[in-house]
Structure 1
Amino acid sequence: MLLFTIITLTTFAVLIRIVANPLANVFQKQLTQRTADPLFITSATYGLLTLFCLAFSAHFQFTGLSPLFWQSILLTSILAMFGNVFLVKALHIGDLSVLGPINAYKAVVGMVVSIFLLNEIPDWWGLAGIILIIVGSYIVLGHNQQRSGLSWWSVGTSLFQRPEVKLRLAALVFSAIDGVFLKKAILVSTPATAFFYWCLLGFLFTFVWVLLTLRKQWRQQVDLLVAHKLTYVALCLAVGITQLASNIALAGMPVGYALALFQTSALISVLFGYQFFKEQGILRKLIGASVMVIGAVLITILG
């Protein structure tokens, strides 16, 4: 019975995360369209989540945390901060239905890192996964260039020169690495405790960044927060649910399996892009996203 409960809780967390993450992206994009600054959005999200956590402080561990926990959560918070800011910047200038599927490249990043740090050479499944991700991204993004008769190489070069894609790739590199340290922090504490310090440290780091770079804009940004408080609250709920679900999933299964399952949110990102922002090419993007998801699963589970 206990095993069944653990499996059920982990599976439920994965399913919730798959839906909540694209929904958070929707609210982030809506706020940037209303001239909210990506850095301020990220900082406000961390800050509101920290205040929410204080109401449940009895569930968090404040003493007896090991040096490994502090090292891991500090690195996680710094990496997550940069990853989240770059993600919101990418959403500001790009399509959700494009940037969601791009997250499948996280599996490629993980493979490359493991080659150099762990000397893990990918097998044929891993190489097949890389090919599928590249083909899928071509389907998602390459239709205009294809009609112009350009080569696959030209399409790929054009793809990675797009500023929103550069920002999204930077964000996924940071998030791919921070997932490893987050797993370490969870293993020596609890998912809830790791979540609280993720929020608190993320707010402290981004607040300092806001003070250094948005000194002339912070009042305007606060006014926007008040004017669009419901969207900010919805964003905090979506981000909080996403992160808590991620922590529970990471505590209950290997990182690789969790990351592979998370990739299926790319399909929902495409649908949300059409539903909320009327982005075009929905069928083509769904096909491309599906190919990329299959590639990510091959790399992460079989590669």
Structure 2
Amino acid sequence: MLLTILSLTSFAVLTRIIVNPLSNVFQKQLAHRSADPLFIISSTYGFLMLACLIVWPQLRFVGLPSAFWQSIIVAGLLAMLGNVFLVKALHIGDLSVLGPINAYKSVVGLLIGIFLLNEIPGLWGLAGILLIVAGSYIVLIDWKQRTAFSWEVFQRPEVKMRLLALVFSAIDGAFLKKAILLSTPTIAFFYWCVFGFAFTLIWISLTLRRQWRQQTKLLFRQKFTFGGLFLAVGVSQMASNVALANMPVGYALALFQTSALISVLFGYQFFSEQGIVRKLIGAGIMVTGAILITVLG
């Protein structure tokens, strides 16, 4: 039984590492084809919600504790905000840069632990922070310009939005984990979609009332890309839920950072982004730092 759980968890982690960067590829392609980031996320939530109702008619709608509803509502709101900011960042930035920046999620978790839980990092944790900063230096700096490092790189719009996205998703992970433990990965996935869809519809009603028809037409014109996105996000999130159900949040987030390396490769393959070797080295250093913080810090 234990071996079955371990093998299932390992498969879920591996699936998430590979598929999540692929979903970023579809999101970036759609954003470049005039799809609004908010509409991209809303349609993804809506499709996955409908798919759940069709495929899993045994989903529970009653009998869940109040703590579940509190956790999943917060998780849905934070996940929605994180995903919208992520797609906005992908629209104007390079996937091979924004993927590795996600390693800062471990730093965010460490800082939250210091201020909220009084968890002071050890030497490995501090070493991990230094590695992430060093790796981001390699990823973000354009060596052809031969300019010195400046913290102004973090003022770039795409970097600021990516950092906002990872802050929201880092906190979202903790609430989602609680919701999963109070139900099942499948039930938590379904309501993650339901509340994400509800929140995006409210946002759309306030900001995209004049554009939703145009965006809907674009969805049908780009149906294969949207379909690929829906499938990738569904598989990635379900794999994340299975992993979170069977291992600590920190360990799961650390392993998920390995996808930074795949993001760099996808950025080169699909969008001809440059500096592939430099970004792979930087991403590798950042991944190492994230693992040090989460596992040993």
| TM-score, normalization by structure 1 | 0.97
| 2:101 alignment counterpart | 102
* Pairing 1:287–2:286 present: no
The SS at the match of 1:55 is helix
* Pairing 1:29–2:28 present: yes
State how far apart, in whole Å, the 1-side matches of 2:237 and 2:24 are. Answer: 13
| 1:185 alignment counterpart | 179
State how far apart, in whole Å, the 2-side matches of 1:46 and 1:165 are. Answer: 25
State how far apart, in whole Å, the 2-side matches of 1:34 and 1:188 are. Answer: 40
Once the two structures are TM-superposed, the CA of residue 145 in structure 1 deviates from its matched residue by 7.8
Once the two structures are TM-superposed, the CA of residue 216 in structure 1 deviates from its matched residue by 1.0
Alignment of 1:1-303 (within 5 A): 2-144=1-143, 147-148=146-147, 150=148, 152=149, 154=150, 157-303=151-297
Once the two structures are TM-superposed, the CA of residue 57 in structure 1 deviates from its matched residue by 3.0
State how far apart, in whole Å, the 2-side matches of 1:58 and 1:142 are. Answer: 50
Deviations 1:176-197 (A, max 9, x none): 0000000000001000000000
8 A contact 1:135–1:292 mirrored in 2:
yes
The CA RMSD over aligned residues, in Å, is 0.9
The SS at the match of 2:57 is helix
Unaligned runs of 5+ in 1: none
Between 1:18-27 and 1:58-67, the stretch displaced more is 58-67
Aligned residue identity for 1:190: T
Aligned residue identity for 1:27: F
Identity of aligned residues (%): 70
Deviations 1:19-53 (A, max 9, x none): 11000000000000000000000000000111111
Unaligned runs of 5+ in 2: none
State how far apart, in whole Å, the 2-side matches of 1:146 and 1:214 are. Answer: 40
| TM-score, normalization by structure 2 | 0.98
Once the two structures are TM-superposed, the CA of residue 62 in structure 1 deviates from its matched residue by 1.4
8 A contact 1:108–1:130 mirrored in 2:
yes
Aligned residue identity for 2:26: F
